[in-house]
Amino acid sequence: MGLHRRLVLFGPPGSGKGTQAELLRDREGLDHISPGDMLRQHQAAGSELGRMASAYMDRGELVPDDVIVDMIKQRLQGEADGIGFVLDGFPRTVPQASSLGGMLEQLGQAVDAVVVLDVPEQVLTLRLARRAAREHRHDDSPEVIKQRLRVYWDQTEPVLGYLGERLPARHVDGSPPVEEVYAQLLEALA
Ligand code: AMP
């Protein structure tokens, strides 16, 4: 029995979702689907979508569901060959989660594992501040970091309860060094 290959990677900003998702892409060949990365590409390209999204992202707010759902729907259609995917940063609201089920059903697929990276709040704040210095992300200023964490607890964490009715989440401690977390993640997906 191999690894589960249709994944939702879940966790607060700074929990290491992006890093772990990139490892799953590079080492397991999963398609890495990150709305945050896609939106930042739109911003860099100066597209209308990028400009619209900036207004939300710069404040630490979520981009409206219909915009995100359209973007992910198109992206998933390109993934129809079934190599597997890791969703990193989607779904972030209950309406997004309910759309995901329908999108995958149309493709004859379903998510087969939900993994949560658990990291204490103080560690998250520290990591996000460090990333701010390193990557100059517009949304890593102290006030915006606070807002993104608030949005996570208010709007995103409840998604776990919703998804959990069908697929109980697997929890992984996201505090240790990257390779240690990755080893635990693989174990959780076996
Ligand atoms: P991330 O790189 O995943 O932390 O996302 C950066 C920002 O992009 C978030 O703070 C939101 O403004 C926006 N974003 C990313 N994913 C979503 C999503 N699923 N729903 C709404 N907004 C999103």
Report how far ligand 1's centroid is from the alpha carbon of 2 (Å).
Answer: 30
Q: Please, what is the angle between helix 48-57 and helix 65-77, to 10°?
A: 130
Q: How far apart are CA 167 and CA 164, in angstroms?
A: 5
DSSP secondary structure, 72-122, as one string: HHHHHHTTTT-S-EEEES---SHHHHHHHHHHHHHTT----EEEEEE--HH
Q: Is 140 in the pocket of ligand 1 (CB under 6 A)?
A: no
* Residue 152 DSSP class: I
Q: How far apart are CA 176 and CA 68, in angstroms?
A: 31
Q: Is 146 part of the annotated catalytic residue set?
A: no
Q: For a pocket test of ligand 1, which of 42, 92, 99, 152 has the largest count of ligand atoms closer than 8 A to its C-beta?
A: 92
Query: What pLDDT does residue 81 have?
Result: 67
Query: What pLDDT does residue 80 have?
Result: 57
The pLDDT tens digits for 39-71 are 999 999 999 999 999 999 999 999 999 999 999
Q: Is 148 in the pocket of ligand 1 (CB under 6 A)?
A: yes
Q: How far apart are CA 110 and CA 130, in angstroms?
A: 36
Backbone phi, then psi, for 119, in 5-degree steps?
A: -140, 130
Q: Structure pTM?
A: 0.95
